[in-house]
Chains A and B, each alone.
Chain A
């Protein structure tokens, strides 16, 4: 049956090349068109099973919370300049209109309008017209699409002015209430000192170190602003209301801009009108925002700005991932072409082989688009894998055909014989590898399952191309040569060195086998030491600004972008969940709606203190004229404030709270310096030197300061209950979905989840102890590690079994199947051992290399054992000089293809490329070592002088 089919195909090629050419063209155009629809997704969550609750929940959050898909502008430079830049950029971002999809939308609208008119003509009452109208209306919104909905880069000051005290914990209100009772400068600082000296050691309720540090830094920021204002005042500058208002804001509410701890970086969060699911907008939107940022930067020398966040990272990963795949494919094609030209000592056949391969890959891509629809992080490497494996088919076919033609046979006979002699081997080899890949379909993870499907079917597509496209090229070429009466020159393309070496090793089989076993044992020992790199950042593209800026945010803001997300059904549930998560040792802090809407009980408890503060501030009076004793009090209280902060600094150093310690340096100097610069004590000293001289200045200051502070406290001392409808949009959308039916809780880990696998597991385990709905990168990645690890193990066992069964069918001899498997198993062990020796670790991407190498590496053993049988189980020289050369060539082409992945921007690709590069090389070496030894032993049994053929030759 197989022979008949192959003969018929060869005959059709030889007799009807133009007909075949048209068929090829049609198939190629169809698959080419289909391949244009292929999408690319570079999200890690897309590697998990589609029905995995973590993936479902993650996608739901992205869909429902516009704030989950954001564009973060990271601005760096001097504080004043970055604030001015942010003020200038924010309104410009809101005005951006995306016109990239205008043409497409306009065309669709025209089509729909036409469709509507036709319907109306046929049936004016057609109910489907309403649907068309809705579709048209929706498309119209896509024209001049406003990309950015809102830009958040300041805290919502108005809301905090009105409800600031209601957002303070009851315990804090109890401890700090004295601070809000006297708006005069001397009374205010005295009360502040009293509060500082009264409580001194934290709160009774459990707060994480991070929260304690943040609270302390916020408080110290306010004091720094006040001292700076007083210093400037004392030096004689008259302070305007804006400066005083800004200082009061700092004291009462905090820094309005989203500034880093060192105040040298600022983040702006642009909330788009689209989500990360809309791929086209993701690309055009990021580019438009980047353009506007670059334009604005021109007016702010000394300021740097870049984009990060889910959308820019998604865009960069996709664009650079595709670029990377294209670049590596081109490198692989060129390298393989050069290698083949050198090996065959001609250029036309290698060119045919490459052209055939490119067409085959195009078919494979079209097939993937039709069956799967998109490429993921893993399947994006399909082209390179198919390049490495698919070229082998062409090499064998061209070699056979050239050999037949050189023997003087005509085109049809040569093609028929080539198909029959080499075609069967090619089909068996290709199907073995394809089935090994298809075995990955049993995987639980979507990433590995799709990888198996795409590469398995892709390989079959390339195999079909090799039998449909390549012979067509060859026939046309041969006809041309015939017309020109050019005959094929005979060439010896065997590799004698390899043949001689194998024959030498065959004679010393016991020695060679012993060395092979010792080396394999050493590799087993090495392989056992390999570790797993769970840091997904190590697999992300290198050198990308969006990825690097994530590190900047982590460093400058101590804010990890990798936190867990949990959906709650109500604000109350959100608060309860956040509280439960905060109790976990593995959690640093949580963010939820409860930060802005305390529970009814909490609000009631706070109201009692707020009412008291309100009464006290209303009773207070602003001192119109300060006396000398008041000036002395100011000097004393400022000095006392200095001492308090020095003591806070000493305690922070002792407690290991580095950020608080550093913050205190700007207020009271560095104690390690010989003469610390202490602005607070310097101010006190200045005032002490001439209280009479500064009395007037202080009076003026108090007359401006006290009313502003008093008003601020009166406004903040608002006992009104906070409800959802009172929240500003920027807060509401961060924590609630569009119809406020779902609430988002963000849970931040207390340590790096990427440098400690045990901690990652613990964090995820802790999260699941509270609620099983937690998702986000930590949960998804922990699941990926577990699922892909299990899949890898299962797939490895299954591919070994499938390959072995196929070999048994092919050889119809269990012993021969075992013989072909030995170098493969040893090669796989060597691969892992070499990975450890070269400093590689397993990753969720390259762990897939294990089942893949089973499918790829088996070819070496199969070809050698087949040839050994063909040669009458003897003649190691011929086997390795001829077939050995072929497997060396296919090994080198495959290694070149995988080696090209070294140049991939995606480090995950490079990790797989490196693993397979070592694996393919290792399988060749183990094939030569083990099989020359084994065949040497077996040849000796069947022949007393196994190397006689070599001497004869």
Chain B
């Protein structure tokens, strides 16, 4: 008698039942856990569009610690920005920049977290959001949708009253098989019906058992611009020196 088939069937059934029964907050908790590992290192490249219409490509390394509370980004290419670094602490509430040409560290104004990060369509807040999905939004599960042939949970996330996050609302599409948010639609801070930008995650690979989107695109509805980000290499939960997330680490 082959026992494997009933076991597999029961497993799939339980997964289906579990998935079907999950509430909005439960799904967002899983997404949050997935997106905020204890620590992370990545090598990536980002393509932005300059004001004269040219494309400019940056490559950089980034480190993330304490479940996304601390982030450090250090630029490698092009040569002009080599060594330039940005440190985001307290979920991007405090932002520091280092300029190797002057060897000075500067603190950015607090409101900078809502602004575009380095000419991209991402804000500093997007890059160091941490637990914002849970802390700043109320989540409600809507009807499931299919995106690119994948069943997805559809979650409507509405900003909590006491939150000062830059989006009034987000609609997140989360793949049911791995909880990767493959699309997030952001709505304007003051006009909940006004579409602001859309994040798309693709090329999902299994890295150290964690499903990881290697390609991330942010399309701005208002500026009709697009920023493409590509992870070239990722390591989860590496040992990180706490000094990394200090002024000394920023200057290294």
Contact = CB atoms under 8 A, between A and B. Distances in A.
Nearest to A201: B112
B84 interface: yes
Contact of A647 (B51, B79, B102, B222): B102
A510 interface: no
A204 B109 CA distance: 9
A101 interface: no
Given A650-B80, A653-B81, A201 B118 contact: no
Contacts of B131: none
B18 interface: no
B112 A658 contact: no
Contact of B101 (A197, A199, A585, A646): A646
Interface in A118-143: none
Interface string A633-674: 000000000010011001101111111000000000001100
Contacts of B112: 200-202
B35 interface: no
B81 A654 contact: yes
A197 B68 CA distance: 28
Contacts of B249: none
A669 to B, nearest CB: 11
A654 B118 contact: yes
Nearest to B116: A655
B141 to A, nearest CB: 30
B50 interface: yes
Contact of A585 (B56, B106, B116, B222): B222
A731 interface: no
Contact of B50 (A584, A657, A759): A657
A201 B118 CA distance: 11
B80 A585 contact: no
Given A209-B51, A671-B80, A646 B99 contact: yes
B208 interface: no
Q: Which of A210, A643, A759 has the most CB of B within 10 A?
A: A643
B79 A672 contact: yes
B50 A643 contact: no
A762 B223 CA distance: 11
A552 interface: no
A213 interface: yes
Given A654-B119, A672-B79, A200 B108 contact: yes
A785 B223 CA distance: 24
A336 B78 CA distance: 63
A672 B104 CA distance: 20
B118 A643 contact: no
B102 A643 contact: yes
Interface size class of A (residues with CB under 8 A): 20 to 34
Contact of B223 (A585, A643, A647, A654): A585
Given A213-B51, A655-B118, A656-B50, A751 B80 contact: no
Contacts of B220: 585
A658 B118 contact: no
Interface residues of B, number: 33
A750 interface: yes
Contacts of A210: 51
Contacts of B56: 656
B115 interface: yes
Contact of B81 (A209, A650, A658): A650
Interface in B43-99: 48-52, 54, 56, 58, 75, 79-81, 84, 97, 99
B101 A671 contact: yes
A655 B119 contact: yes
Contact of A657 (B75, B84, B107, B119): B119
Interface in A496-542: none
Contacts of A651: 97, 118
B102 A653 contact: no
B50 A751 contact: no
Contacts of A672: 79-80
A937 to B, nearest CB: 52
Given A200-B109, A655-B118, A759 B101 contact: no
A658 B84 contact: no
A774 to B, nearest CB: 19
A39 B115 CA distance: 55
B187 to A, nearest CB: 13
A759 B221 CA distance: 11
B224 interface: yes
A210 B51 CA distance: 8
A650 B84 contact: yes
Given A654-B118, A657-B50, A643 B221 contact: no
A799 to B, nearest CB: 39
B224 A647 contact: no
A650 B115 contact: no
Contacts of A585: 220-224
A71 B115 CA distance: 41
Nearest to A203: B111
Contacts of B80: 650, 653, 671-672
A671 B112 CA distance: 26
B221 A657 contact: no
A653 to B, nearest CB: 6
Given A647-B106, A658-B51, 17 more contacts: A199-B109, A200-B107, A201-B109, A201-B112, A202-B112, A643-B102, A646-B101, A646-B102, A653-B80, A654-B75, A654-B119, A655-B118, A655-B119, A656-B50, A658-B54, A659-B52, A672-B80
15 contacts: A200-B109, A646-B102, A653-B80, A654-B118, A654-B119, A655-B118, A656-B50, A656-B51, A656-B54, A657-B50, A657-B119, A658-B50, A659-B52, A671-B80, A672-B79
Interface of A: 197, 199-202, 204, 209-210, 213, 584-586, 643, 646-647, 650-651, 653-659, 671-672, 750-751, 759, 762
5 A-B pairs closest in CB distance: A585-B222, A656-B50, A656-B119, A655-B119, A643-B102
